[in-house]
Amino acid sequence: MISRRILVPVNFSAQSDAALKYAIKMASAVNGIITCLYVNEEPDFITGQFLTKEISDRIRRLAQDTLSAKANEILNDHHSIPYEIIVTKGNVHKKVREKAKDLNASFIIMAKSDSADLEDLELGSNTLSVIAKAQIPVLTVNSTNHLENNKILLPLDLSKLVEIKLLKAIELAKMFGIEVSVFTVLRSDCIDLKPKYQKRLIDIHQLFNNEDVTCSTELRVSEDSFSIEILRQARKMDAGMIMMMTQQETRITDFFLGSTVHQIINNSEFPVLSIIPNIGTNETSNSSAWGDLLNPITLFQMH
C-alpha cells in the first residue's frame, strides 16, 4: 500500500495532543507517516531588535526538545507507525500550508483552537486560515471523545449538485473502512419536494451499496438552521466525524468558509473534516468508478 503523509501542527495544547492521537488512528488505517510540525511564530519588529542569534538558537533547541518529548510520549507506543518532527519559524498558517505542499501530505490534522486554554474551544485564526486555504483535507479536533467512533456524517443540500461530495465520501469510507450516514434537511415550506428528496436519497444509498460502502440515509423536516440540525444529528448518531465542503471562489486557489461550515466547525464537539471541492486526497480515483458514479453528472439534479 502507498504510504500517505499526515501533517500534524503541534502547539503543545491538549487539543493538539488529541490531533496526534487521531493521526495515529488515520495512519494505522492507511499505512501513513506522521509529521509533527511546530512553528515558532516570528517576533514583531520591536521584539526582533532584542532577539539575538544565541537566544533564537536556544528557543529553537527548546522547541525541538519539547516536540521530540511530546511525540515520544504519544507515538512511541505505536512502533509500527513511522513519524518525524520538524521545527521551523514564520507565520504559522503559511508554514503549515507550505510544509503540506513540500511533503505532498494527504491530510492535515490540527487543533480547532490556537489557544492552550482548555476552556477555549473557539476556532483559531491559524486553524481557520489553514482550512480555508489548504489544498488538502483538514481535520479539526478538540478532544479524543469520539476517537473510536467509525461513522462519517455527510450532510447534503439536495437542492444542489452533490456528486463531488459523494465521490469523496466514498473514497474516504473505503480508505478508512468506515460507514457513511447521509443526512439532509427540508424546510416545512418546501414540503412538496419531499418525494423528490426521498427518491434522491434512495439513489444515493444505491450508489454507496454499489461501491460496497455501508450507508444510511435520513431526511428531516425542520425550521431550524442547517448547522443546528447537523450538530443535532451528529449527537444523535455519535459521529466519528462530520464531512463538510468549503466554498470555491472564482479562482481554483481561492476558498472561504461559508457561514454554515464556519458555525459547524466552531460549535462542534465532533471532529470536522473540511474538503475543498475539486481537490483530491492525493489519490487518483479509478476512472471506471468515476464513470459509474457520475455518468451522467446530472444524475442528482432536481427535476
Q: Which three cell numbers stand for residue 205?
A: 444509498
Fold of 151-294: Rossmann fold (3.40.50)
Answer whether 217's CB lies under 8 Å from 228's CB. no
Q: Which three cell numbers stand for residue 76?
A: 512511541
Positive or negative: CA dihedral 125, 129, 132, 138: negative
Answer whether 126's CB lies under 8 Å from 155's CB. no
What CA dihedral angle connects 73, 102, 53 and 13, to 10 degrees?
A: -30
In 3D, which of 139, 33, 150 has the Cα closest to residue 83? 33
In 3D, which of 45, 26, 211 has the Cα closest to residue 110? 26
Cα–Cα distance measured from residue 13 to residue 170, given in angstroms and rounded to the nearest whole number: 33
Name residue 8's beta-bridge partners.
36
Residue 259's pLDDT is 78
Residue 250's pLDDT is 37
Residue 47's pLDDT is 58
Name residue 52's amino acid.
Answer: T
Helices 287-294 and 163-176, packing angle to 10 deg: 130
Fold of 5-141: Rossmann fold (3.40.50)
Residue 280's pLDDT is 45
What is the DSSP annotation of 87-147? Answer: EEEE-HHHHHHHHHHHTT-SEEEEES-S---TT--SPPHHHHHHHHH-SS-EEEES-STTT
HSE (CB half, 13 Å, CA atoms) of 40?
17
Distance of CA 211 to the CA centre of its chain: 22
3-state secondary structure 8-35: EECCCCHHHHHHHHHHHHHHHHHCCEEE
Name residue 178's amino acid.
Answer: I
Residue 56's pLDDT is 74
Asked, as a colleague might, if the bond just before 9 is cis with ω within 30 of 0, I would say: no
Cα–Cα distance measured from residue 36 to residue 38, given in angstroms and rounded to the nearest whole number: 7
Q: Which residue shows C-alpha cell 507515538? A: 75
Q: What are the start and end residues of each CATH 3.40.50.620 domain in the chain?
A: 5-141, 151-294
Q: Which three cell numbers stand for residue 43?
A: 517576533
Question: pLDDT tens, position by position, for the chain (303 residues)?
Answer: 457 899 999 998 899 999 999 999 999 988 899 999 999 886 655 555 566 677 777 878 888 899 899 888 888 776 678 999 999 988 999 999 999 999 999 999 999 976 654 455 566 788 888 998 888 999 999 999 999 999 999 999 887 778 888 999 999 999 889 999 999 999 888 999 999 999 999 999 999 999 999 999 999 999 999 999 999 999 999 999 999 987 644 343 444 467 788 889 889 999 999 988 654 444 433 333 333 333 333 334 443
Cα–Cα distance measured from residue 198 to residue 200, given in angstroms and rounded to the nearest whole number: 5
Cα–Cα distance measured from residue 18 to residue 112, given in angstroms and rounded to the nearest whole number: 10
